[in-house]
Each structure stands twice: as C-alpha cells, then as structure tokens.
C-alpha cells in the first residue's frame, strides 16, 4: 500500500487551468498556422524588438533544444530573422521580419478580443485575481525551498 499524499497536485491543477484557457486561443493561432510556442516567440519579439535565443527561452518558457527548432521553422516561414550583435559578433539576435510584424498585428486584436470574451464569461475580477495570485507565486522564493533527501538508488526500481 502506498503512502497517502494529502496535498492536491498543484502543478497538475495549473496545467488544467492553462488548458482550460488556451483552448480559447488555440483556434486563433491555428487559423494563422502558428503553434503556441511560435506565438509566444512572435508576441515576445513584438514587445521587446530583438532578443537573444536564451532570452527568448526564459521569456517564452521554451527549453533551448526546442527553441532551436521553433526558431528555424519561424525563419523558414519568413517571420523572424537572425543577425549578429553589432557589439559582439558571437551573439545572435532574433527579430521579427516585416511579415512577422504584420502577422502579429493581425493576430493581436483577435487575442485581445478573446480575452474580453473570457473576462465577460468568467468575470474580470476572477481574471485579475488569477493574475495577482500567479504573480505572487512566481515572485515567491521557491528557489530557496530545500529538496527532500532521496533514498539510495536501488538496482531494480520495479522491485522484481
């Protein structure tokens, strides 16, 4: 018999909340031929102008190995361009192309409208509360949380 876990699965609940929200935005992105990861990058670049790939990884919550492929596809689609930093030729900067900017300006109003529809349905107060709670959670010192002491590894984890 396994030990009981008394806490609810917060990471899983956050994933469910993410999915319940994203399902309203995914059709917009799909209509324009973008994935969620691609949209996060396009949106970030529209806001920031230019960024290094590692900055995009952090801002868009995309792991570096995945970022390489997503940026390559966006470049093939003609939505982003790479250039060397004028200050350090070893550094790569990513920016939206004019086509990428135009696509952002076509999608952004639809995303904004979808946010308004969502707020109308669930309430602006609940959405604002969610932003505040997530901001508080993200600013909490979770990186200072100690880890449990793990038992010694066993040769056969299945227990045969």
Is residue 150 over pLDDT 70? Answer: yes
Q: Where do runs of H (alpha helix) occur along 4-97?
A: 10-22, 26-31, 36-48, 53-60, 64-76
The predicted structure's pLDDT at residue 143:
87
Is residue 53 over pLDDT 80? Answer: yes
Helix (H, G, I), strand (E, B) or coil at 93: strand
* Mean per-residue pLDDT, 22-29: 96
* Mean per-residue pLDDT, 122-142: 94
**What is the Cα–Cα distance from 143 to 130, expressed in whole angstroms?**
22
pTM score, whole prediction? 0.85
Is residue 160 over pLDDT 60? Answer: no
* Mean per-residue pLDDT, 64-87: 92
What is the CATH code for 14-136? Answer: 1.10.10.10
The predicted structure's pLDDT at residue 87:
76
Residue with tokens 């550094």: 91
């Amino acid at each position: 018999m396994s030990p009981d876990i008394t806490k609810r699965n917060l990471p899983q609940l956050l994933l469910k909340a993410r999915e319940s929200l994203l399902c309203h935005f995914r059709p917009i992105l799909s209509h324009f031929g973008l994935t969620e990861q691609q949209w996060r990058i396009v949106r970030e670049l529209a806001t920031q102008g230019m960024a290094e790939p590692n900055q995009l990884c952090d801002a868009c919550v995309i792991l570096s190995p995945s970022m390489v492929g997503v940026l390559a596809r966006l470049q093939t689609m003609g939505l982003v361009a790479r250039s060397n930093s004028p200050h350090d030729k070893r550094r790569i900067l990513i920016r939206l192309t004019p086509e990428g900017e135009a696509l952002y300006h076509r999608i952004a109003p639809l995303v904004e409208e979808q946010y308004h529809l969502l707020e109308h349905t669930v309430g602006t107060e609940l959405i604002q509360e969610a932003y505040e709670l997530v901001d508080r959670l993200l600013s909490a010192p979770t990186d200072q949380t100690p880890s449990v002491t793990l038992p010694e590894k066993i040769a056969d984890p299945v227990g045969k």
